[in-house]
Each structure stands twice: as structure tokens, then as C-alpha cells.
Amino acid sequence: MPSFDTALVLARVLTSGVVMSIEKSDRELPGLERLLSRQTARRRAVLLNSRTAAVHAALTGLGVGHGDEITQPGLDARTSAFLDWLGVRVRPGGPATFDEVALGPDTAGDLRERAARATAPALVVDLTGLGFGPAAALLTDDETVWARAERLKIFGAHDLRTMWTQEEADPELVPGVQFNYRLSPLVAACVRMALTRAGTPPVTSGAPL
């Protein structure tokens, strides 16, 4: 994304006065969720502040935790170490427990096509390569996967929908440990702009040569 466009996006968010993900009036995070849902043809999106967080959310959403075993072909050393820290064992073979797509400036427009090839119930999309800081998303059609993942990323006793009333929405979904995996609206706004621009055909002007 050109630096001028980035400056406009940042100015819009900062001028709004909403720079935290816990603000009820935030519009950037829901906007990115809707865009990712459309581009991946998944009903639910969970925004997170790193690829590792998205992998953790995918596993938690699927009910995988300490002492469980999964299959996940093609794991890199970093992810293998993280799964080992979580206490999740990986046995050889398939199918994949979750699918993964990593996007960068040259591949931002490929999300729709690559998501269409994913078959696992959870899709991890690494958005860090777009250049706006660590960012990722979990996409799914499963309501339970989505709800569990949403609760994992909130460090506190209540989710974002109920923290203002201090009432528990669904006690059965509260994980044993919660993390501060929330994505910043500033980063979400820039990622959204990059994905939108990548999916827009270039405009030409002037008479054809």
C-alpha cells in the first residue's frame, strides 16, 4: 500500500478516537471481519494479533488442548515448538487439523482462490506479511469453533459482548487460560485497506495507444 494511503487510514482511525479493540463503537475490526468472511466464504472470522495466536485459537476452537493428539502435515519448526509448549502431540500423516494461508504484498489478492482450496474446519490466515505488524485471522463455518476462539483472545473474566454489563454470556465457553490476543483497530484498518486494494482492478485513464 502506498505510504499516502496508509497515512489516510491511520489519520481516520486516530481522528475517530477509537484505538482499542474493547471500544463498543469500533468499526475497523468488524469491517475487516466482514471482508475476510466474504473473501474466504466462511461465516465467522476471529481477528488476532499474531499467527501463533491464530494457530492457538484454531486448536482451542476445535477442542484440542494439552494431552491431545492431532495430524498436521508440513509443520515448520516454530509451529512444532509452539504445539509442544501447548502439550499437543503431532503424529505423522493427515488430514490437516487446520489449513493455513500466508499473505504478503504480492499475494494479497489470492486469498479467495487459496481459501477455496482449504478443506479443514478451521482456516488460519497470516496477515503479518502485508507489512502492518503481526496480524492474523481464524475463519470457520462452525459456531462453536468461533465462540471458543473469541473467548481465548480476551484476557479477563468477560467477553467483549458482556464486559460492559459484567454478565457471563456462556460460562461453558470460558477457557482455563485466556490471552491478550486482540488485534488493534489501527492494524485492522491498514490490513483491510491492503486487501481491498488487492481485490480492485487497476484504473487506467487516457486514450489507448
Rounded to an integer, what distance in angstroms lies between the CA atom of residue 1 and that of residue 195? 10
How many Å is the Cα radius of gyration of the chain? 18
pTM: 0.82
Q: In the CATH scheme, what is the code of domain 3-12+26-198?
A: 3.40.640.10
pLDDT single digits (tens) 131-175: 999 999 999 999 999 999 988 888 654 555 555 555 655 666 655
pLDDT single digits (tens) 7-57: 666 666 556 655 555 555 578 889 999 999 999 999 999 999 999 999 999
Domain extent listing, the chain: 3-12+26-198
Q: Which of 178, 180, 161 shows the shortest CA–CA distance to 169?
A: 161
pLDDT band at residue 1 under the 50/70/90 scheme: very low
pLDDT band at residue 93 under the 50/70/90 scheme: very high
